[in-house]
Amino acid sequence: MAEAALKELASLEKYLGLKKTNKYSTKGERKVPVLQTKDGQDIVGLVTIACHLVKAAKQEQLLGRTREESAVVQQWLEYRIVQLGAPGAKEESRSTLRDLNEYLEDKVYFGGDFLSLADILMYYGLHSCMVDLTVQDREKFVNVSRWFSHIQQLPNVQQHLPRVHIMKNRIYTNVH
Amino acid sequence: MTLTLTVNSASPPLGALLTAEHVKSTVNVAIDQGKETSLKVADSVSFNDVNSIVRYLARLSPSHVLYGTNLLEQAEIDHWLEFSSRHLSGQLGSALQELNSALSLRTFLVGNSISLADFCVWSSLKVNSTWQKYFSEGQAPCHIKRWFSFLSNHEVFKSVGGKWTCASV
């Protein structure tokens, strides 16, 4: 878990085009990632660090362009930590996927029609879940699969993670 | 080199206008209003068919990758151009079902970015009264609806759609 979070932050740095890599450590039993900044202040927590990196890279549009958009982005970043990061998240993954599938039915990105940090962190967070799905299940959660395959092909997003093969055409036409 | 696109303002060729707008950084297209749609490329050569016009414009500007990245994608785009002009006018019938199923696992119709296929299919739906009725009454199939709204929110689609469909009403 802790290693995954650190890898994720390293990938995010590369995606954002940040040249110099930061120094990280972890703390506590849950191995929460910590970023040591140059002026000696620590930034704690995956999402907090991720938002800091986005600002450092001057790509604030990834946090939402209006107040409404930023609220939606924050909501999904929190969901990422609380729902996907919680112990036992693996067992509940099917009900999580069902909810997300419903939510994504009328959206291209988590924020609606703009790419945000939420998409990138949700992609990293859902990757292990998507790898384990059968071809039939990937089609069952058709909206999650479509969103996932769109995000993973965006330039520089994929980084440390293997590609998940998702069909572009349906084979099980009776499921919706 | 300046090309002239004459636009029939009674039934504006939205697909051609969208393509012209997308390639404007490399291809100079002057837009003119007239009785019939045509693209004049040389003294003796002009195209009257929207599909021919969009193909020509896309080929002039390969850097915009509107005509796919390989032969397979080109063939897919050709399929959708044909589909948009044959099956998406008047009664929609089973065409919507086919389109909906194709869009269930795709963000864009062909490949991973916007292409002529998206322009032409979107344009045919945009001016189709059956589709407008479905869309406004909330009966549109979910995948087409998502894709259609996503494109409609793009700046270029907003400006082309707004300008030319208002003018024709």
Report residue B101 as tokens: 């199923």
Residues of chain A where predicted confidence (pLDDT) is lower than 70: 1-2, 173-176
pLDDT value at position B126? 94
Phi, psi of A132 (to 5 degrees): -75, -15
> Is A168 at the interface with chain B, CB within 8 A?
yes
d(CA A77, CA A51): 10
Compare CB distances from A170 to B105, B107, B112 and report the shortest one's residue: B105
Cβ contact B89:B124 at 8 Å: yes
d(CA B144, CA B84): 14
Question: Which residues 87-106 in chain B show a CB within 8 A of chain A?
Answer: 101-102, 104-106
Mean pLDDT of B37-63: 93
pLDDT confidence bin for B1, thresholds 50/70/90: low
> Is A163 at the interface with chain B, CB within 8 A?
no
d(CA B44, CA A68): 54
pLDDT value at position B167? 46
- Residues of chain B with pLDDT > 70, as a percent, come to 97
pLDDT value at position B154? 93
pLDDT value at position A174? 58
Cβ partners under 8 Å of residue A68, min gap 6:
none
Residue with the bigger pLDDT between A173 and B105: it is B105
pLDDT value at position B19? 96
Residue B147 burial (C-beta neighbours within 10 Å; 0-12, 13-18, 19+): buried
pLDDT value at position B169? 41
Among A106, A110, A137, A144, pick the best mutation site for testing chain B contact (most B Cβ within 10 A): A106
pLDDT per residue as tens digits for the range B114-140? 999 999 999 999 999 999 999 999 999
